[in-house]
């Protein structure tokens, strides 16, 4: 754990990524930097060449840019939000340039979910990697998928269950490497003690329902490592058709004795 400046809370971060049962390689990539309050998850775009390269580039460029900006010492949430967006923009530019320069990487891209925790929690995402909050035994989705399926749901052309089972549910409208200019969704949340933030790739949410995720977190809330590994196991128990990545983040009081 690392102690957050200014509020005395200890930040606990756990991340697990798994290839799943059907994919030849893992095209998800995660990075945790607890001492700076940074967590990043990227999912190489399925069906695209060099997705694993894109996801690794996304995470590494975002982390490098956030560290360069010393976000761990930034206390104003709006400044943190701007720094996070700039980091995503740098990653987008880097991925697009690599796609141009390296023929074997042409067309690659990645989804991303990222957060920076200081006095508040600053979140950003592109694509269908999601961010949830688990508080008072209730799981709430904080992000909206940037997919054609979600657009159809918003337009009333599909309901949630139809969208979940639609063959084109993973068609992305936003992501890193897709367009020259990106418009990531961002939000700023208060940092509440004992809240758990969950960042995950669609390898989890495509096969594990929100209710099952919530039940798992309720049952394993005392140990985030157990929670993360149980969520991975659930996805694999349901076929593991895709790579699966999970990051869990929680702030506890400084006198909390974990375990």
Q: Cα–Cα distance between 37 and 29 in angstroms, integer?
A: 18
Decide if 159 is inside a domain: yes
Q: Which residues pair with 247 in a beta bridge?
A: 15, 199
Decide if 258 is inside a domain: no
- In the numeric block, which tokens belong to residue 73? 């010492």
Q: Alpha carbon of 203 to those of 50, 68, 148, 196, 239: distances in Å?
A: 18, 31, 18, 20, 10
pLDDT tens, 43-102? 998 445 688 999 999 999 999 999 998 887 777 889 999 999 999 999 999 999 998 888
The answer to whether residue 5 scores a pLDDT higher than 60 is: no
Decide if 215 is inside a domain: yes
pLDDT tens, 120-155? 999 999 999 999 999 999 999 999 999 999 999 999
Decide if 50 is inside a domain: yes
Domains identified in the chain, total number: 1
Q: Is 148 within 8 Å of 171 (Cβ atoms)?
A: yes
Decide if 142 is inside a domain: yes
Q: Rounded to a whole number, what is the distance in angstroms from the first to the last CA of the chain?
A: 12
Secondary structure of residue 254 in the 3-state scheme: coil
pTM of the model: 0.93
Tokens 């196991």 correspond to 233
Secondary structure of residue 111 in the 3-state scheme: strand
Q: Is 20 within 8 Å of 54 (Cβ atoms)?
A: no
User: Domain containing 68 — which CATH number?
Assistant: 3.60.40.10
Q: Is 104 within 8 Å of 24 (Cβ atoms)?
A: no
Tokens 């030849």 correspond to 24
Decide if 44 is inside a domain: yes
Q: Which domain holds residue 148?
A: 2-253
Of 186, 188, 223, 230, nearest to 208 by C-alpha is 230
Q: Alpha carbon of 171 to those of 109, 150, 155, 176, 230: distances in Å?
A: 13, 10, 16, 14, 28
Decide if 220 is inside a domain: yes
Over range 237-242, report the average pLDDT: 96
144 burial (CB, 10 Å; 0-12 / 13-18 / 19+) is middle
Binning pLDDT at 50, 70 and 90, where does residue 258 land? very low
Of the listed ranges 5-9, 92-96, 106-110, the least confidently predicted one is: 5-9
Share of the chain above pLDDT 70, in %: 93
């Amino acid at each position: 754990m690392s102690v957050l400046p200014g509020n005395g809370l200890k930040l606990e971060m756990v991340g697990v990524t798994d290839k799943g049962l059907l994919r030849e390689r893992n095209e998800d990539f995660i990075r945790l930097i607890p001492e700076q309050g940074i967590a990043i998850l990227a999912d190489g775009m399925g069906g695209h060449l060099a997705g694993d390269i894109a996801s690794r580039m996304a995470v590494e460029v975002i982390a490098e840019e956030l560290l360069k900006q010393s976000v761990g010492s930034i206390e104003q949430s709006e400044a943190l939000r701007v720094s996070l967006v700039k980091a995503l923009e740098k990653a987008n530019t880097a991925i697009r340039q690599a796609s141009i320069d390296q023929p074997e990487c042409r067309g690659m891209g990645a989804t991303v979910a990222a957060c920076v925790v200081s006095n508040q929690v600053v979140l950003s995402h592109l694509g269908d990697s999601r961010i949830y909050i688990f508080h008072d035994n209730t799981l709430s989705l904080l992000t909206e998928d940037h997919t054609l399926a979600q657009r159809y749901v918003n337009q009333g052309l599909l309901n949630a269950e139809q969208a979940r089972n639609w063959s084109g549910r993973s068609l992305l409208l936003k992501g890193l490497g897709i367009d020259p200019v990106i418009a990531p969704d961002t939000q700023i949340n208060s940092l509440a003690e004992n809240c758990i933030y969950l960042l995950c790739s669609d390898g989890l949410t495509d096969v594990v329902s929100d209710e099952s995720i919530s039940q798992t977190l309720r049952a394993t809330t005392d140990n985030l490592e157990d929670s993360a590994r149980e969520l991975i196991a659930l996805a694999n128990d349901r076929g593991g058709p895709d790579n699966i990545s999970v990051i869990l983040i929680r702030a506890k009081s400084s006198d909390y004795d974990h375990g």
